[in-house]
Amino acid sequence: MTMFIKLENGQPVGSAITEDNLRLLFPHVKFSWPFVAEDLEPIGFGLWDFSSQPELGVFEKAVESVLVKDEYNRWRPSWTVEPMTEEEIAAHTEQEWTAIRNQRNYRLAACDWTQILDAPADAAAWAVYRQALRDITEQTDPFNIVWPTPPSIGPT
């Protein structure tokens, strides 16, 4: 999908827009295909291309630093990697714990059937596994969880 960015004094400003939105802004302009910067810049727009964010460590964030024009005359953001603030670390950690609890709850629900009295499973082994799932939040690092291995299905 082709995206566009508004230009003021030759520099991008604001957020990127879609081709549909550009055409709505200029309903009487016939654009060439493919779009070229030379046709767009006189009407105050440039080609926009998203660039991939860099690989991040657990407590790092990507910050859009400067916009650069590439060899194809497309504007794209460049990124710097910065450490998260203490508040961001706390929020990120809580978000990860929430994901861990959700995964734990899903795994518990998936094996509820093993605790039915006449289930074709080793109820005691499954009970140990289920307790290990409940204890998962006692681990100290939500980014390096060691999940218990479920017992084999079937009677022993």
Q: What is the pLDDT of residues 22-70, one digit of tens each?
A: 999 999 999 888 999 999 999 999 999 988 889 999 999 999 888 889 8
Q: What is the mean pLDDT of residues 78-83?
A: 94
Nearest to 61, CA basis, from 25, 87, 34, 24: 87
| Dihedral (Cα; 113, 118, 121, 127), 10-degree rounding | 60
- Hey, how many other C-beta atoms are within 10 angstroms of the C-beta on 104? 19
Domain boundaries, the chain: 3-83, 86-138
pLDDT in tens, 103-139: 999 999 999 999 998 888 899 999 999 999 999 999 9
Mean pLDDT of 64-78: 89
Is residue 7 pLDDT above 70, yes or no? yes
* Residue ranges in the chain assigned as alpha helix (H): 19-25, 37-40, 86-110, 123-134
What pTM did the predictor assign?
Answer: 0.67
For residue 155, pLDDT over 70 is answered with: no
DSSP assignment string, 7-44: EETTEEEEEEEEHHHHHHH-TT----SS--HHHHGGGT
Structure tokens at 7: 């230009």
